[in-house]
Amino acid sequence: MKLLVTGGAGYIGGVVAAQLLDAGHEVVVLDDLSTGHADSVPEGARLVRGTLREAAFDVLDGGNFDAVLHFAARSLVGESVEKPGLYWDSNLGESLALLDAMRRAGVDRIVFSSTAATYGEPESTPILETDPTRPTNPYGATKLAIDTALAEYARLHGIGGVSLRYFNVAGALLDGRRVQGERHTVETHLIPNVLKVALGERESVKVFGEDYPTPDGTCVRDYIHVVDLGAAHLLALDACEPGVHQIFNLGNGNGFSVREVIEVCREVTGHPIPAEPHPRRPGDPAVLVASSEKIRSQLGWKPERDLRAMVADAWEFARRAR
């Protein structure tokens, strides 16, 4: 298939673009490099630099594309609280421009990077796709609005859309020829930040809250290896059905506490990684774990890599990227 990958110069888009190329697809990346890197676009893909608003129609029109994989977004929760307008414009506005460009160019399939942040504070765990969506920050709200727009474009314009609601993505793609991983300039994710201590870039890791109602008192989150996540995109692409919008959670279905993650990082790196207790951060739920039953039963997806593999691959990538 000929595929447009928005945000393919970023962490996840770069990994999935590489997997799509290896599966025999033709890939064009559209990215404005606001948080991505031109050298993260995998060899074999063509990079078009620009925003979705500026360039999506020019790229799609007459290009004979079969589908779009839409990763491009701003995704820093704290920044979204400071600058909600930027997030609504950049995430929802640019996504609507993309959807309209797809319609005009006659491209009717899209796989979208949605997020666990659409659910907000969960009422029960593990989180099901049918659970209430009450995002607690503008980032999650913009992603939920894009899910809603996809449902409307499916119903009213016949687009086939799949929203994959990712939980915490980690790890790297290291298959010899392809080396793709996480290189965020502003890093908010736990595993790369813990590994920065082992790399000597930080003194210690901050643990926000040790008095949660969890077995060791620290927050519990669901982690998914980026390579397993990519495999789900290939399945989702095949599952796009004109006129239908589908939502699937994408996590392991297992939770790990902050302390457990730090312990695995210590084992993998052999570094003591000092941890420093801090008060809870406002708005951090105690437990966020996905039910991945729907994607397992309907698309036959199964995660194959455990937390140790995520940490080991992220560690290998971080050392190579230095």
| C-alpha count within 13 angstroms, C-beta hemisphere, residue 150 | 30
Residue 139 annotated among the catalytic residues of the structure: yes
Strands 275-278 vs 205-208: parallel, antiparallel or unpaired: parallel
Out of 11, 87, 119, 139, pick the active-site residue: 139
Structure tokens at 40: 């993260």
CB of 168 to ligand NAD, least distance (A): 5
Neighbours of 100 (CB within 10 A): 15
Give me the residues that bind ligand NAD (CB under 6 A), please: 6-7, 9-13, 31-36, 51-52, 71-75, 90, 94, 113, 115, 166, 168-169, 184, 189
| C-alpha separations of 254 from 137, 235, 238, 289 in Å | 24, 21, 26, 7
* Shortest Cβ 282–ligand NAD spacing (Å): 20
Q: Which is nearer to ligand NAD, 103 or 184 (CB)?
A: 184
Between the alpha carbon of residue 104 and those of residues 41, 159, 230, the distances in Å are: 27, 12, 28
Which residue, 166 or 248, has its beta carbon nearer to ligand NAD?
Answer: 166
CA 70 from centroid of its chain's CA atoms: 10
How does strand 220-225 pair with strand 168-170? Answer: parallel
- Choice between 91 and 257, CB closer to ligand NAD: 91
Residue closer to ligand NAD by CB (options 218, 249) is: 249
> Minimum distance from CB of 211 to ligand NAD (Å)?
25
- Evaluated on CA atoms 174, 311, 169, 292, the torsion sign reads positive
Least Å from the CB of residue 195 to ligand NAD: 15
Q: Any idea which residues carry the catalytic annotation?
A: 139
